[in-house]
Amino acid sequence: MHAIEKILARAAGKDRVRAGEIVTAAVDLAEINDLYLQVIQSFEAMGGKGVWDPDKVVFVFDHYSPPPTPKAADNHRVMREFVAKEGIPHLFDIDAGVCHQVMPEGGLVRPGMVLVATDSHTTTHGAFGAFATGVGATDLAVVLIRGTLWFVVPEVVKIELTGRLPQGTTAKDVVLGLLQRFKADGFVYKAVEYAGPAVTDFSIAERMVICNMAVEMGAKTTYIQPDDKLREYLAARGIEDYPIDTTDPDYEYAEVHQFDVGQVEPLLAAPHSVDNVHPVGDYAGTAIDQAFIGTCTGGRLEDLEMAAKVLRGRRIPPGVRLVITPASKEVFLKAMATGCIKDLVEAGATVTSPGCGPCLGIHQGMLGPGEVCITASSRNFPGRMGSPQAEIYVASPLTVAASALRGRITDPREVLEEGS
Amino acid sequence: MGKLQGRAFIFKDNVDTDQIYPGRYLELTDPKAIAAHAMEGADPAFPEKVRPGDIIVAGKNFGCGSSREHAVIALKEAGVGAVLALSFGRIFYRNAINLGLPAIRLAEAPKAAEGDLLTIDLEEGTIALPDGGILSFAPFPPEIRKIIQGGGIIPLVKSEQLG
């Protein structure tokens, strides 16, 4: 069996499971974000009389932090009341950050667990050796009542990453390269395991990036075999006790692919599809109105530091907006301590509260008709960040920072060479 | 679970949930208010054009992207009777089944144009096309059939809670 199958088998109380089988698995962690008052509405419509295990439930107010409208504020109020009534100990309020960042930071994510959340980027937690997948609001409400959910055991695709990242490229460019090759529907319904020496070299933050955007290729979940680097990350958060599953040597993958990260160059996804991927150089010189660095894809300390490295002691041009949204309070505090927030603000950045920022087009930097944005977030669907007539380019934090500096799409290698 | 009949609305590959239901309306919680924005990102006139029973015919990966259940609520409340596609974003697919909206995966695109009348037989797994042709699909397995027949998972779980 694959490690993912062993996790599902344990959660379903079975000795063996196989791809294609439907299993009912016990859920270890269920997270609800503030877009989905529907979870509570479905819970009540189903006659829910109390959540199955309040310790395993998490609410995170990240998409509407702080609330941009009276309705969003009222949705938060109803959720806070539900949390209080049900005795749920984990409420990350508007000061906390993006769910996929605050849950690992808070020591809630561990290897071998079954994690569901009302967010498609839940695939991020494969970086921690968890079986983690996004679900809808009513599915999550079923979990609140039953503590279980049905899953089809997925086929597993293995992607072996070899080589070393060249100067000026990042894990984001790797996952954009994968999107270029495998496309937006490459792994629909399937699980993606990342393996190989480049994955071992990657930091936890870099692993989170490639797992996060696996969903843009349709993946149901991801998996990276836990190693010493992960053990250290977990131990620093007081997590020592967890199972580590390993894949049997005779397991047959649905597909095995090799990808040499040493061949990657700075890439971007051009409007209006995540798999419309090209070298940054092909679009060099395109004028931008806004640059955005943040989210569960690109708002970690490492991302802000990359941007600061490009922008320190420099100034973005007048008329260009640079919006920075730290992924979490912890990231924000660390970025203040290292001075990188100061560097970015002095360079002309507008820093928002931790959370999802303008990624999903509800506040904190929406785009007008005809505007062009380059973003370190994950999606450039039509209308994603505001006007359907806006154009969104998805790229690495380095490319976004270099483009902000010049006011036009720029290969970060040009700027890094200048600065060195 | 009988037959469904409605006019076809044709959409391309990779219609994401931001197009089905734009993010700026995610704070809405009343199904009728949500339905007013169905498919707005792909076809702003859709909410005015759609009539009860109409059928969405899409290409690959319909409903990819965000997990927002609003996308299914919007289609269902707007009157959409079924969604046919070559493949689905998996969270959209689960959401559709959970809310009792038949999401049907086809092996090939139906020969149908915008506005053509389609008749879907969920029991038999067939779609009657305007040219007289019949397109087959795998009927739902028993677990999913039970959910669709019951009008979604909410009434099913509710009856368990009461029982």
Same domain, residue pair A242 and A275: no
A72 shares contact with chain B (CB less than 8 Å): yes
Is the domain of A235 the same as that of A299? no
Find, in chain A, the residue whose alpha carbon is nearest to that of B69: A136
Distance, in angstroms, between A174 CA and closest chain B CA? Answer: 20
Could you say which of B23, B28, B162 has the minimum Cβ distance to residue A384?
B23
Q: Do A136 and B95 touch (CB under 8 A)?
A: yes
Share of chain A above pLDDT 90, in %: 99
SS (H, E, C) chain A: CCHHHHHHHHHHCCCCCCCCCEEEEECCEEEEECCCHHHHHHHHHCCCCCCCCHHHEEEECCCCCCCCCHHHHHHHHHHHHHHHHHCCCEEECCCCECHHHHHHHCCCCCCCCEEEECCHHHHHHHHHCCEEEECCHHHHHHHHHHCEEEEECCCEEEEEEECCCCCCCCHHHHHHHHHHHHCCCCCCCCEEEEECHHHHHCCHHHHHHHHHHHHHHCCCEEECCCCHHHHHHHHCCCCCCCCCCCCCCCCCCCEEEEEEHHHCCCEEECCCCCCCEEEHHHHCCCECCEEEEEHHHHCCHHHHHHHHHHHCCCCCCCCCEEEEECCEHHHHHHHHHCCHHHHHHHCCEEECCCCCHHHHCCCCCCECCCCEEEECCCCCCCCCCECCCCEEEEECHHHHHHHHHHCECCCHHHHHHHHC
Nearest-CA distance from A382 to chain B in Å?
A: 7
Does the pLDDT of residue A419 top 80, yes or no?
Answer: no
Residues A80 and A113 placed together within one structural domain of the fold: yes
> Is A319 at the interface with chain B, CB within 8 A?
no
**Minimum distance, in Å, between the CA of residue A385 and any CA atom of chain B:** 8
Domain match, A135 and A44 both: yes
Residues A302-331, mean pLDDT to the nearest whole number: 98
Residues A400 and A350 in one domain: yes
Predicted confidence (pLDDT) per residue in A74-109, tens digit: 999 999 999 999 999 999 999 999 999 999 999 999
CB atoms B65 and A379 under 8 Å: yes
Split into its structural domains, chain A has a count of: 2
Q: Residue B102: what pLDDT?
A: 97
| pLDDT at residue A200, rounded to an integer | 98
Same domain, A315 and A373: yes
CB contact under 8 A, A362 and B19: no
Same domain, A111 and A134: yes
Residues in B closer than 8 angstroms to A388, CB to CB, are 22, 41
**Which residue of chain B comes nearest to A154, CA vs CA?**
B90
Average pLDDT for A340-349:
98
Q: Is A20 on the interface with B (CB under 8 A)?
A: no
Last residue of a domain, one of A207, A233, A260: A260
- Contact call for B29 and A37, based on CB within 8 A: yes
Residues 31-60 of A with CB under 8 A from B: 35-38, 41-42, 45-49
Q: Is the domain of A294 the same as that of A193?
A: no
Please tell me the predicted confidence (pLDDT) of residue A418: 78
Contact A218 B157 (CB under 8 A): no
pLDDT of residue B143: 84
Same domain, A276 and A327: yes
Chain B interface residues (partner A, CB cutoff 8 A):
13-14, 16, 18-19, 22-24, 26-29, 41-42, 60-61, 64-70, 72-73, 87-91, 94-95, 98-99, 143, 152-154, 157-158, 161-162
Q: What is the CATH number of the domain that holds B98?
A: 3.20.19.10
A231 and A309 part of one domain: no
Quote the pLDDT of residue A44: 97
Residue in A with minimal Cα distance to B91? A135
At B47, phi and psi to the nearest 5? -60, -30
Q: Judge whether residue A420 has pLDDT over 60.
A: no
For residue A331, what is the domain's CATH number? 3.30.499.10
Residue A125 shares a structural domain with residue A177: yes
Its domain, for residue A167, covers 3-260
Q: What is the pLDDT of residues A113-171, one digit of tens each?
A: 999 999 999 999 999 999 999 999 999 999 999 999 999 999 999 999 999 999 999 99
Mean confidence (pLDDT) of chain A: 97
Q: Among A260, A291, A315, where does a domain finish? A: A260
Query: Does residue A50 surpass a pLDDT of 60?
Result: yes
Instruction: Give chain B's domain count.
Output: 1
Q: Does residue A256 share a domain with residue A273?
A: no
Domain that holds residue B11: 3-162
Which of A260, A291, A310 marks a domain boundary? A260
Tell me the mean pLDDT per 10 residues along chain B, length 163. Answer: 92 97 97 98 97 98 98 98 97 97 96 97 96 95 90 93 71
Of A47, A118, A381, which has the smallest distance from its Cβ to B158's Cβ? A47
The tens digit of pLDDT for each residue in A362-382 reads: 999 999 999 999 999 999 999
Q: What is the mean pLDDT of residues A241-254?
A: 98
